[in-house]
Amino acid sequence: MSKVLLKVENLKKYFPITGGIFSKKIGDVKAVDDVSFFVKRGETLGIVGESGCGKSTTGRMLMRLIEPTEGSVIFDGKELTELNDTEMRIIRKDVQMVYQDPYASLNPRHTVEQILEEPLIVHGMGDKQERRKRVKEMLEVVGLSGYHAKRYPHQFSGGQRQRIGIARALMTKPKLIIADEPVSALDVSIQSQVLNLLEDLQAEFGLTYIFIAHDLGVVKHISDRVGVMYLGRLVEITTSSKLYEHPLHPYTEALLGSVPIPDPTVSLDREILTGDLPNPADPPQGCAFHTRCKKCMDICKIERPQLAEIEPDHYAACHLYEQSI
């Protein structure tokens, strides 16, 4: 069995821009532009970037909830982009999603039992008795109780609703969970509880996670490796420890500079992210980050840097390191 569970190559999603009275195509928004990465079995890959960087579109393309424009997604040895709808439905048993807003993703008219049973019905798993038994088991696994099964989503707190969302994702015993900003809508005090729960579940069930977030602070403890995206491209990817201790890309440095440090004795002489994200429909030439980069050189405005291995297992797309390749 291959150690790599998911391999993504040259993944692209271009949304057409139309204009004029005939709504002719006049360009593309390159929401995801040539992204490649892999995820090993049992590890957590964090994907981080500001909103609009393409991280959620990437997550959805992995499940083909958004169709890729181009590229390859190999999951457990199968090329997902070539599967038909029926084949893809079978794969979704093994790849599940946890969403940012648990309230929006849980049907308010269904009881928790109906919500959790649904994926089993869709995939034809178990009879009614077995399904109900699994609902109770999963509620307990995520720190709720069997008696919660008859309640409705509005009767729970935000943190409890996210536990229900996680239980639903686990119902079909998936191999990979794509968690798209799973704690961003929660109070800070609840965030760590949900993160701890996700870590415990990973250890218990051998799960593999892709954890999407806009904040490097959130993914720090849960991720084995982290990829940083900017305007549809990966600009840095490496192990969690290398990224946090020795970031190479000026954008990663600036993102890290925006993570609050609870220790008042720590010097605040850090790069801080300034300026707005450029319009994705009209990205800057050369390095897309050059309009906000304090280390910008002449070449950065002309030539786009390619993602390259600057140090062992540490990839970055930046002209600063071209001599060291």
**Residue 11 Cβ vs ligand SF4, minimum distance, rounded to whole Å:** 22
For residue 93, which amino acid is it? K
Q: Vertex 58, ends 91 and 98: CA angle to 5°? A: 60
Comparing CB distances to ligand SF4, the nearer of 102 and 247 is 247
- Minimum distance of ligand SF4 from residue 57's CB (angstroms): 22
Compute the C-alpha angle 271/43/247, nearest 5°. Answer: 15
| Nearest distance in Å: CB 89, ligand SF4 | 42
CB-wise, 134 or 249, nearer to ligand SF4? Answer: 249
Q: Which residues bind ligand SF4 (CB under 6 A)?
A: 249-250, 287, 289-290, 293, 295-297, 300, 305, 318-320
Question: Could you tell me the smallest distance in angstroms from the CB atom of residue 252 to ligand SF4?
Answer: 9
3-state SS class at 269: coil
**Could you tell me the smallest distance in angstroms from the CB atom of residue 318 to ligand SF4?**
3
Shortest reach from residue 249's CB to ligand SF4, in Å: 6
Q: How do strand 70-75 and strand 225-230 relate by DSSP bridges?
A: unpaired
Q: How far, CA to CA in Å, does 103 sit from each of 23, 139, 140, 291, 316?
A: 36, 17, 20, 38, 37
Q: Which CB sits closer to ligand SF4, 95 or 256?
A: 256
Q: Count CA atoms within 13 Å of residue 157 on its CB side.
A: 9
Nearer to ligand SF4, 159 or 250 (CB): 250
Nearer to ligand SF4, 204 or 322 (CB): 322
Half-sphere exposure of 177 (CA within 13 A, CB side): 28
- Looking at the Cβ atoms of 164 and 228, the one nearer to ligand SF4 is 228
Residue type, 196: N
Query: What is the nearest approach in angstroms of ligand SF4 to the Cβ of residue 211?
Result: 24
Q: Please give the DSSP secondary-structure letter assigned to residue 315.
A: E
Q: Please, what is the Cα angle at 99 between 93 and 101, to 5 degrees?
A: 145
Give DSSP secondary structure letters for 108-158. TTS-HHHHHHHHHHHTT-S-HHHHHHHHHHHHHHTT--GGGGGS-GGGS-H
CA separation for the pair 229, 237 (Å, rounded): 9
Joined together, the tokens standing for residue 271 give 């790069």
Q: How far is the CB of 48 from ligand SF4 (least distance, A)?
A: 16
Q: Are 116 and 168 in contact (CB under 8 A)?
A: yes
The residue (of 134 and 292) whose beta carbon lies closer to ligand SF4 is 292
Choice between 128 and 270, CB closer to ligand SF4: 270
DSSP state, 299? G
d(CA 238, CA 240): 6
